[in-house]
Amino acid sequence: MAGLYGVIGDPISHSMSPLMHNAAFEKLGIEGSYHPFHVRKENLENAIRGVKALGIKGMNVTIPHKTAVMEYLDQIDPLAEKIGAVNTIVNDEGTLTGYNTDGLGFIKGLKEFAQESIEMKRVLIIGAGGAAKAIYYSLAEQGISKIDICNRTKEKAELLKTRRSSFVQTEVLSLDSVQTNLGLYDIIIQTTSIGMNPKIGEKPLNVAMIKENAIVSDIIYNPLETSLLKQAKELGARTQNGLDMFVYQGALSFEKWTGRNPDINTMKEIVLTQLGGQHVNR
Ligand code: ATR
């Protein structure tokens, strides 16, 4: 019997996950199908009951349910607990476990792009929202110890820092003050929504002072090259857009559901085609 999978969110029609996962199933010859489900807040609990009742094998969870869904699951993986959000549910014979693959997906993409060890690198995260949290705690779990955070609202970044593992060294900075110190960082990770379509002219800060050869990674993939990445590239940085994070977070979910490694290139290509663009990472 074909396995049933899906994603719940509100809105959901824009999601590229169904396209990506169905292509991955097809490529591996697995009988599986993945559907988008539009679930409003007031229906979340019933939707999760439905996952159990219908024997849906795996789900992704997207905005705005990533945190609210946690109380309806049977178990939460420790990293997802720390992040305070779940993007993946595994249904194991009626037991639902919540995971968060956003941060680890980001790191997998970053490591592949960097082609070198990132453990000793000095990292700056721009932003302190949900995505930043997933990336920050996942970087810490991977043993990266020098991670600074800058955010418009400094208190939010302080809160992330308070809950970090003891070995992580973190300084919290304002967007203004970090601009003159950008030369300190080997890897800069942009996690805010600034620069996302349609406001493609905006960027969270000016990166004129970055180190040559720094890696600048933006989690936005629409547009494929944000203003921030464009400026960074002109200054000699290596730039990566958010397509890799999107694909790898999906690939990690897929592995948890099926025990199989999906074909990353198939997934990447189908999403890229849908975005109508050229891959600009270099
Ligand atoms: P997500 O879950 O996608 O990370 P979020 O939790 O709403 O979204 O977080 C959005 C991030 O983008 C935050 O770091 C936010 O800064 P604040 O904490 O100060 O709100 C940042 N952000 C969004 N719009 C911004 C803007 N116009 N200027 C500066 N920062 C902005």
| Residue pair 9/39 in contact by the 8 Å Cβ criterion | yes
Same domain, residue pair 175 and 48? no
Same domain, residue pair 154 and 229? yes
Q: What is the pLDDT of residue 166?
A: 84
Same domain, residue pair 235 and 224? yes
Same domain, residue pair 110 and 234? yes
> Is there a binding annotation on residue 62?
yes
CATH of the domain at 141: 3.40.50.720
Ligand 1 neighbourhood includes 131 CB (under 6 angstroms): yes
Ligand 1, atom 18: closest residue by C-alpha: 153
Distance of CA 230 to the CA centre of its chain: 21
Within 69-129, where are the H helices? 78-83, 102-114
Same domain, residue pair 117 and 96? no
The count of domains in the chain is 2
Span from the CA of 22 to the centroid of ligand 1 (angstroms): 31
CATH of the domain at 252: 3.40.50.10860
| Residue pair 187/110 in contact by the 8 Å Cβ criterion | yes
The answer for residues whose C-beta is within 8 angstroms of residue 12's C-beta and 6 or more apart is: 36, 37, 38, 39, 62
> Is there a binding annotation on residue 155?
yes
Residue 60 domain flag: yes
Same domain, residue pair 113 and 236? yes
pTM of this structure = 0.96
**Residue 135, both tokens:** 């990336």
Query: What letter represents residue 44's amino acid?
Result: L
Same domain, residue pair 147 and 125? yes
Same domain, residue pair 66 and 111? no
Q: What are the two backbone dihedrals, phi and then psi, of residue 40, each rounded to the nearest 5 degrees?
A: -80, 160
Residue 254's Cβ-side half-sphere holds a number of Cα atoms within 13 Å equal to 28
Q: End-to-end CA distance of the chain, in Å?
A: 42
Q: What is the pLDDT of residue 276?
A: 84
Q: Which of 136, 155, 179, 193 to mutate to test the pocket of ligand 1 (most atoms within 8 A of CB)?
A: 193
Residue 264 domain flag: yes
Question: In this structure, what DSSP letter does residue 256 have?
Answer: H
Q: What is the pLDDT of residue 279?
A: 63
Span from the CA of 270 to the centroid of ligand 1 (angstroms): 29
Domain span at 148: 103-240
Residue 279 domain flag: no
Instruction: Write the DSSP string, 128-146.
Output: -SHHHHHHHHHHHHTT--B
Residue 72 domain flag: yes
Distance of CA 46 to the CA centre of its chain: 26
Same domain, residue pair 232 and 251? no
Q: What is the pLDDT of residue 260?
A: 96
Residue 281 domain flag: no
Q: What is the pLDDT of residue 25?
A: 98
Same domain, residue pair 134 and 34? no
Residue 78 domain flag: yes
Residue 280 domain flag: no
Please give the positions annotated as active site: 66
Ligand 1 neighbourhood includes 130 CB (under 6 angstroms): yes
Ligand 1, atom 25: closest residue by C-alpha: 194
Span from the CA of 248 to the centroid of ligand 1 (angstroms): 23
Residue 53 domain flag: yes
Span from the CA of 127 to the centroid of ligand 1 (angstroms): 6
Q: What is the pLDDT of residue 58?
A: 98
Q: What are the two backbone dihedrals, phi and then psi, of residue 124, each rounded to the nearest 5 degrees?
A: -120, 130
What length does the chain have?
282
What residues does 173 pair with on adjacent strands?
150
Same domain, residue pair 95 and 108? no
Same domain, residue pair 20 and 110? no
Ligand 1 neighbourhood includes 239 CB (under 6 angstroms): no
Residue-by-residue pLDDT tens, the chain, 282 positions: 689 999 999 999 999 999 999 999 999 999 999 999 999 999 999 999 999 999 999 999 999 999 999 999 999 999 999 999 999 999 999 999 999 999 999 999 999 999 999 999 999 999 999 999 999 999 999 999 999 999 999 999 999 999 988 899 999 999 999 999 999 999 999 999 999 999 999 999 999 999 999 999 999 999 999 999 999 999 999 999 999 999 999 999 999 999 999 999 999 999 999 998 776 676
